[in-house]
Amino acid sequence: MAKEAQSEIQDPIIRVRDITVQFGTTRVLDGLNLDVKRGEILGFVGPSGAGKSVLTRTIIGLVPKVAGSIEVFGVDLDSSSTSQRRNVERRWGVLFQQGALFSSLTVGQNIQFPMREYLRVSQRLMDEITMAKLTMVGLKPEVAERFPSELSGGMIKRVALARALSLDPDLVFLDEPTSGLDPIGAGDFDELVRTLQRTLGLTVFMVTHDLDSLYTACDRIAVLGNGKIIAAGSIADMQASQHPWLRQYFHGKRARAVMG
Amino acid sequence: MNSDPKLERITKGNALALCATGTWTASFAPVLERMVADAEKLAGTPQSIFIDVSEVAKLDTFGAWLIERLRRSLTQGTVEAQIAGLSANYSSLVDEVRRVRATPVVDGSTITISGMMEQIGRAVAGVAGTVAGLVDMLGAVLAAGFRVLIHPRSFRLTSTVHHMEQVCWRAVPIIVLITFLIGCIIAQQGIFHFRRFGADIFVVDMLGVLVLREIGVLLVAIMVAGRSGSAYTAELGSMKMREEIDALRTMGFDPIEVLVLPRMLALVLALPILAFLGAMAALYGGGLVAWLYGGVEPEAFLLRLRDAISIDHFIVGMVKAPVMAAVIGIVACVEGLAVQGSAESLGQHTTASVVKGIFFVIVMDGVFAIFFASIGM
């Protein structure tokens, strides 16, 4: 048991090899390699339009790739059987940039949707787990009765996170979780991700533009540029890097403000 | 690595210990729930209760919550159930679920007589609201129209032409095809029944009057309501959902002037053209069937048609067309602007737009029939 756990820690939870994604003649990702380790929060940064969301969507399987392989939980997603793939999908949760809550369902029904599909449990347990998830993401139980159109931007993000966590996944993808939130709300959200990662033992793949998030929430940072990972490492490694874009990003006016 | 979860009971004198083992995760949730429910029932009245979780291999929110649920239901009076042997990894998770207030969700949707009466009342009030909304929109469109007449530069010609293409030009093939077929069917049925009286030739009278006065314009209006009314509602509705209409307003544009007026104008111009084309296609189809099926020669058909119909019939049909177009356009735009945030709402309003559009077109047709009868046209 302990041995198994040891090997799992060393094995990357996501292993991306030589991935190439092309839209028409534009090559967005070009032979990209990336490992995400178990239990870490990986911050994924890069200039706007560099293909951060594209990589996320490629890993999840929403964008087809031209070449390369993706392994999640040690399962190669190209050669896996349907049942293997479903099993993998059950173990990850995705928070989309705009929340992507189902607008015709209440918040409670949104959170229960994956449970209803995958688990055969009583309505009572689903209701109670919904309350637990809402409490975890810092919302009041009354929110469960509301519809997504009645929520504020910050609440939508929180509910979307609760839905992503609904099946207790091992891995969560967060696509710009703090964009559109006020700095205090964004700070709270970072704190929340951090806490949840500790409590639930999550691995978090976070696409972000938010320097604060990188400093406070992330264990490791990967930088995307020209369709490749141009750097990966701790925040200190990033600051020490001589790459022109990285220098600008981590030593610009905003970065200095964050570092104080 | 995954092992079936178990919950064992050990009773020692007045103390009860429940030992949880195995994997307490979402995948085993149904089994876990049953075990916990059994353990709750068989608890009895011990003096002290322990829930030992030291042998739990894996724990997630589902497992942690079920242990918490067990703890809460076993805690009665002065005896508090304790959780023992919690490993450091899971303590924060268990603490987290301890904070959860399990308020059962009350489903308030029970059917009562007063509730049904209330719904009827709301529906009736809703009808009045619909009519008020239509009149409101008519006024707004007319006001915008007058503003544009005073300042012709603010008229959106490009948009109007674009909508003309969508509503009129692109609708021609389908409208001509369907009215042609309807013309054929009317002529065939007419000949089939009139032949018994030896009155074959009167099929031309019936076809001419029916097509020019009623069928041509009514059929085309219904098709336009289904084709373009729904499109207008969906376009305006999704713009409303994405706050595009609010954006227009904040930039100082009037959405009625920018979005509704060009659409209305396009529709009001398009429907008479389409109704005319439809009527011609129906007459052509009817004439073809009268010739091939009924043996009425084209020359005889045209001669008879000239005697049977007057310009009045044609005018009656054409006068109705723009009014019906205005009704369809107003209904579609009102519904489009009434769309709320959800995808479901968009669907509901698009349906309502078509249903109401067709309903009002038929009502208008009835009103026109009475009007023309009383002025003798």
For residue B102, what pLDDT is reported? 65
Q: Are B272 and B167 in contact (CB under 8 A)?
A: no
Strand pairing partners for B12? Answer: B15
Nearest CA-CA distance, residue B42 and chain A, Å: 20
Arithmetic mean of pLDDT, A104-117:
85
Residue A132 at interface with chain B, using a CB cutoff of 8 Å: yes
Residue B342 at interface with chain A, using a CB cutoff of 8 Å: yes
Residue B104 at interface with chain A, using a CB cutoff of 8 Å: yes
Percent of chain B whose pLDDT exceeds 70? 95
State the pLDDT confidence band at A10, using cuts at 50, 70 and 90.
Answer: low
State the pLDDT confidence band at A260, using cuts at 50, 70 and 90.
Answer: low
In the structure encoding, which two tokens stand for residue B348, read together? 């509901």
Nearest CA-CA distance, residue A93 and chain B, Å: 14
Closest in B26, B102, B342 to A128, CB measured: B102
Cα A218 → chain centroid: 12
For residue A6, what pLDDT is reported? 45
For residue A138, what pLDDT is reported? 81
Tens digits of per-residue pLDDT, A13-28?
Answer: 888 888 888 888 888 8
Tens digits of per-residue pLDDT, B84-142?
Answer: 777 777 777 787 777 777 665 555 566 788 888 988 999 999 888 888 999 999 999 99
Quick check: helix, strand or coil at residue A29?
strand
Q: Which of residues 191-250 of A touch B (CB under 8 A)?
A: 195, 198-201
Report CB contact under 8 Å: A129, B62.
yes
| Chain B interface disruption, residue of A134, A199, A202, most B CBs within 10 A | A199
Distance CA A256, CA A169 (A): 36
Burial of A242 (0-12, 13-18, 19+ CB in 10 A): exposed
Closest in A132, A147, A150 to B100, CB measured: A132
Percent of chain B whose pLDDT exceeds 90? 50
Residue count of chain B: 377
Search chain A and give the residue with CA nearest B96: A136
Q: Each residue of B206-219: b (16+ CB within 10 Å) or e?
A: bbbbbbbbbbbbbb
Which pTM does this prediction carry? 0.69
For residue A257, what pLDDT is reported? 67
Residue with tokens 């500790």: A198
Arithmetic mean of pLDDT, A152-176:
85
Search chain B and give the residue with CA nearest A133: B61
Report CB contact under 8 Å: A199, B340.
no
For residue A99, what pLDDT is reported? 79
How many distinct helices (H) and strands (E) make up chain A? 11, 10
Average pLDDT along chain A: 81
Distance CA B363, CA A164 (A): 51
Strands A171-175 and B48-59: unpaired
For residue B266, what pLDDT is reported? 95
Arithmetic mean of pLDDT, A89-109:
84
Q: Are A192 and A165 in contact (CB under 8 A)?
A: no
Tens digits of per-residue pLDDT, B246-294?
Answer: 888 888 788 999 899 999 999 999 999 999 999 999 999 999 999 999 8
Residue with tokens 């074959």: B200
Report CB contact under 8 Å: A132, B344.
no
Report CB contact under 8 Å: B341, A131.
no
DSSP code, position B76: B
For residue B185, what pLDDT is reported? 95
Q: Write the DSSP string, A128-169.
A: HHHHHHHHHTT--GGGGGS-GGGS-HHHHHHHHHHHHTTT--
Amino acid code (one letter) for A160: A
Amino acid code (one letter) for B67: I
For residue A5, what pLDDT is reported? 45
For residue B11, what pLDDT is reported? 76
Residue B109 at interface with chain A, using a CB cutoff of 8 Å: no
| Chain B interface disruption, residue of A86, A98, A129, most B CBs within 10 A | A129
Which of B101-105, B221-225, B339-343 shows the lowest mean pLDDT across its residues? Answer: B101-105
Q: For residues B67, B68, B74 and B76, what is the CA-based torsion angle, rounded to 10 degrees?
A: 170
The number of CA neighbours under 13 Å toward the Cβ of A160 is 26
Distance CA B377, CA B366 (A): 15
Residue B319 has pLDDT above 70, yes or no: yes
What is the predicted ipTM? Answer: 0.73
Closest in B26, B27, B341 to A149, CB measured: B341
For residue B171, what pLDDT is reported? 95
Identify the residue with better confidence: A158 or B221.
Answer: B221
| Chain A interface disruption, residue of B24, B62, B86, B349, most A CBs within 10 A | B62
Tens digits of per-residue pLDDT, B19-62?
Answer: 877 888 887 888 888 888 877 776 666 777 777 777 777 788 88
Report CB contact under 8 Å: A141, B103.
yes
Distance CA B165, CA A81 (A): 49
In the structure encoding, which two tokens stand for residue A23, read together? 């839209």
